[in-house]
Amino acid sequence: MPDQASRARVQRLLAGQFRRDYVIDLLLFLRQHADGRPLLQEIGHFISHPTVRDRGFTHNAAQEWALFAEFVLARSISGEPLNFSRLPNIAPKFYRLVARGLPPESLMRETGMRPSQAKAKLERFASALVENDDGTWRIGRPLSQQDFNLIGFASGLVLADASFTAEKLIDEVFAGLLSNSLISRDELRENRDTLGEIFQLIVISSMHNTAIALPVGELALIRAHPNSDVGAISVDLSIHLDRQNYPKILVAKSLFLSSLEPQRFCDADLMADSSWNFAIDVTSDLKLCRL
């Protein structure tokens, strides 16, 4: 038997009676009944702990992004080709991480390798690195030309895809609603677009202006904004990298890429201020607004 209060909230949303707390309560319910869906748990954590995140897959994504950016920055500052006798101090972690996300098509085009083959080679390469006295790393065994091609290809990768998209969010929310008997398939079919927009708006406003703790004591800031590159609202992760004798550098990646067009889903005042350096909410007519 479905949870009666949660079912009532769904029915009111289906009737066009939007209230923020209906959606928040539903997301918190789904967090407790996620059935192994990590995204539902993560969104629930953002709602319950709206300040600094120190766990979860968005926390892991922030740490990974900081690692990618730090590796690329270290190479950019040196201004020199990759030096296999003095790789950056984060090289072993970087190559193990990049091994998990190799893009198949460009990998095959540039190296002639399949992802599984390249992953195994990169992991062996990372394990065989030898640490120098100054904390940099050097190659610990001879490499073939194919190995060199792979390492060169991997060293230039920055895996900056969104951690999750509108499609992923909507699929998990709807699967959670269905598995807990809070909505019928016919109701979902008739109201899919509107419900998808509602849940995206609440997730955007809940993630906005939060932060993620990084191991070095820095905070990665999370902020929503209209992304002109894709014509949609995205929630981005921003990290300031600090290198000795260089000014801080801001790097950013998308955590959540929505399918919502800014002109349609933001009120005029919000669109007039591009900083979004303040809390945001959702209006009764389903627009993001300044709180």
Enumerate helices (H) and strands (E) in the chain, giving the number of each: 12, 10
Can you read off the two tokens belonging to residue 284? 């009764």
Residue type, 157: L
Q: What pLDDT score was predicted for residue 141? A: 81
Q: What pLDDT score was predicted for residue 52? A: 82
- Distance (Å) of CA 56 to CA 34, 59, 90, 127, 253: 14, 5, 22, 26, 17
Residue type, 45: H
Q: pTM of the full predicted structure?
A: 0.81
> Are 253 and 236 in contact, with CB atoms under 8 Å apart?
yes
Can you read off the two tokens belonging to residue 30? 């789904």
Q: Check the CA dihedral 131-124-81-245 and report its sign.
A: negative
Helix (H, G, I), strand (E, B) or coil at 70: helix
Q: Taking the C-alpha atoms of 278, 279, 283 and 288 in order, what is their torsion angle to the nearest 10 degrees?
A: 60
> Are 176 and 85 in contact, with CB atoms under 8 Å apart?
no
- Which residues lie below 8 Å from residue 250, measured CB to CB, with a gap of 6+? 238, 239, 240, 241
**pLDDT by residue (tens digit) across 228-265?**
888 999 999 887 766 555 556 666 788 899 999 999 99
Q: What pLDDT score was predicted for residue 193? A: 96
- Which residues lie below 8 Å from residue 140, measured CB to CB, with a gap of 6+? 128, 129, 130
Place of tokens 């929310």: 173
Strand partners, 233: 226
Residue type, 40: L
Cα angle 118-123-129, degrees, rounded to a multiple of 5: 125
Q: If 0-12 CB within 10 Å is exposed, 13-18 middle and 19+ buried, where does residue 20 land?
A: middle
- Which residues lie below 8 Å from residue 190, measured CB to CB, with a gap of 6+? none
Residue type, 9: R
| Per-residue confidence in pLDDT tens, the chain, 291 aa | 789 999 999 999 999 999 999 999 999 999 999 887 889 999 998 898 777 877 788 888 888 877 777 777 766 656 667 788 888 888 898 898 888 888 888 889 889 999 999 999 999 999 999 999 999 899 888 888 888 889 888 887 766 678 899 999 999 999 999 999 999 999 999 999 999 999 999 999 999 999 888 776 678 889 999 988 889 999 998 877 665 555 566 667 888 999 999 999 999 999 998 889 999 999 999 999 999
Q: What pLDDT score was predicted for residue 238? A: 84
Which of 62, 65, 77, 67 shows the shortest CA–CA distance to 248?
77
HEC string of 177-205? HHHCCCCCHHHHHHHHHHHHHHHHHHHHH
Domain range annotation of the chain:
4-35+163-290, 58-155
